[in-house]
Amino acid sequence: MSASDDALEYIRNYYRVPAFKKAKIKYQGKPGEIRGGTGSYLLVRLDGAKANIKCHPTWEIEYVENGGV
């Protein structure tokens, strides 16, 4: 298990959210995908973006799909 996977497991357990890699989300109303985690933050790639951004797992995030898990 990678550090990113460990971070996502922590986020799921602590915040009780369905944070899985490749899960579809909306951040501030913009669609994107969870790419991983770092510490207690999600690494998210918004559609059309070239880089990941850090997002708090409960702030302005809507979990649309759980990545097939």
Band of the pLDDT at 4, cuts 50, 70, 90?
Answer: confident
Q: Is 2 exposed, middle or buried (0-12, 13-18, 19+ CB in 10 A)?
A: exposed
Is residue 1 helix, strand or coil?
coil
Query: How many domains does the chain contain in total?
Result: 1
pLDDT attached to residue 23 = 96
Domain membership of residue 39 (yes or no) is: yes
Q: Which two tokens stand for residue 48?
A: 């059309």
Residue corresponding to tokens 């207690």: 40
Residue 37 identity: G
Higher pLDDT, 67 or 36: 36
Domain membership of residue 69 (yes or no) is: no
pTM of the model: 0.89
What is the span of the domain harbouring residue 45? 3-63
CB atoms within 10 A of CB 3: 11
pLDDT attached to residue 65 = 77
Domain membership of residue 68 (yes or no) is: no
